[in-house]
A and B are shown apart, each in its own frame.
Chain A
Amino acid sequence: MSDVFQHSLDRISRVRGVQGSMFVAAEDGLAVAQLLMAGVSGKVLAAFAASLARKASGAAAATGAGKVRFVQMQAAGGVLLVALGGELLVAVVADAGVNVGLARLEMIRAVDAAAAL
């Protein structure tokens, strides 16, 4: 199982601009597997990714948009990306100039691979 996680995180980390990626338990925001550059706090990323995913899911439900699959938060100095699967989600923190489309593809592939375990 950990090989699948590590392989997925390796692929995500090859996207230029990605500073860290991790699998997070959606329910409690705890890290399951991670690949982070120095200076990136895994605990912080996991906790806030899960929290933001919950908040965005609630907001989307209130607007009638249905179940959320992917969330991106853009900020002046970087982006937070979250792909939602079943019990796990994949979180990425990256530079503002990251290729979001490419990172998104790898992240959705990762949550699908985790869900298939």
Chain B
Amino acid sequence: MADDIRALSAALARDPSSLQYVELAEQLRRRGKMQEAVQVAMYGLGRHPEHADGYDCLARIHADRGELTEARAAWERALAIAPEHGGALRGIGFLFYRQGDAKRAVDALVRAVAADPADEAARRALAVLRGEPVPEPSPALYPEGDTRRKTPADVPQLRATAAALRALEAELAPLPPPPVIPPAPAAAAPPGARAPVFAGLEGATADMLLLDARGLVLAGGLRAADGSDASELAAAALAGVSGEAERTAGYLKVGEWTAIVAEAESANVVLAPVGEGALLMVRREKSTPVGLALRIAERARGAAARWLEEQR
């Protein structure tokens, strides 16, 4: 392995923009050289700030160091870049479990398995959490004629989570059976089928989204540039914003937060709390003045608040 590190270091020195920084950081992590691993990962991410694999690697390093807040932030960043990143979904699933949030742990692991059906660690962890029989590793992991049981050391995709899985199984063993988790809902309703909360407002089903505190869509919709429905993914990514804003407002002693405006390259995004943990997102083209976007968001917030009141 030392040779691997030397070779990777040399390769990175020859080509500093190489994506091999991820493999080098991973090798250092496995050797327990955490500080060097962080430095390599941060160096690479400095050059490739939108590289989801880099954030996934950085998160694993933080997780190994017990820095769970930092690990979660790095995995969330990876998922913001690549919402179906299997490694990040699996990692954050384990984090949710360690924080006692079994529901979100299951949600994340379900998505991890969907993203990578060959991810044995995620499948096994999911089975443990659901109280189902733990599946045997897939035959695909055993080449014909190879009767030796594969270990995490043999299978890269198992290494990162094997220790966490063992810890998870050990923790669950003495506990009573977990509560029955209701089956996943059928495919999410398309924007047009959701409650017409924003009817009459421009972008009612393409640029306005109402979500609850768990990151689940309540109403509205968000269309991606290719016209596909991006509501569910956006809602999941937006779920933590309210908490962050509340903490920020509390520490800065500026009272309750009322809106966040993010001015970005191609659009302005307004986020506003609606009550009961619900969050409103309004997206407007860059050409729309920020002040006007705020006024539109205020109208949408009024409509959302009235609708939520009716649902009581």
Contacts and interface: CB of A to CB of B under 8 A. Distances in A.
Interface in A34-71: 41, 44-45, 48, 51-52, 54-71
Interface of A: 27, 41, 44-45, 48, 51-52, 54-80, 93, 96
A77 B255 CA distance: 5
B110 to A, nearest CB: 19
27 contacts: A27-B42, A27-B46, A51-B248, A52-B260, A55-B244, A58-B80, A58-B237, A59-B241, A60-B269, A62-B80, A65-B262, A65-B283, A66-B265, A67-B264, A70-B263, A72-B260, A73-B257, A74-B257, A74-B261, A75-B254, A75-B255, A76-B254, A76-B256, A77-B255, A78-B254, A80-B252, A93-B254
Contacts of B247: 48
Contacts of A52: 244-245, 248, 260
B83 interface: yes
B265 A67 contact: yes
Given A69-B265, A76-B254, A64 B230 contact: yes
Interface of B: 42, 46, 73, 76-77, 80-81, 83, 222, 224-225, 230, 233-234, 236-238, 240-241, 244-245, 247-249, 251-269, 271, 281, 283
B252 A55 contact: no
Contacts, number: 137
A62 B262 contact: no
Contacts of B268: 65
Most buried by B among A41, A52, A76, A78: A52
Nearest to A94: B254
A75 B261 CA distance: 12
Contacts of A77: 253-255
Given A56-B271, A61-B237, A65-B267, 14 more contacts: A45-B252, A56-B269, A59-B80, A61-B81, A62-B238, A63-B238, A65-B268, A73-B249, A74-B259, A75-B255, A77-B253, A78-B253, A80-B252, A93-B252
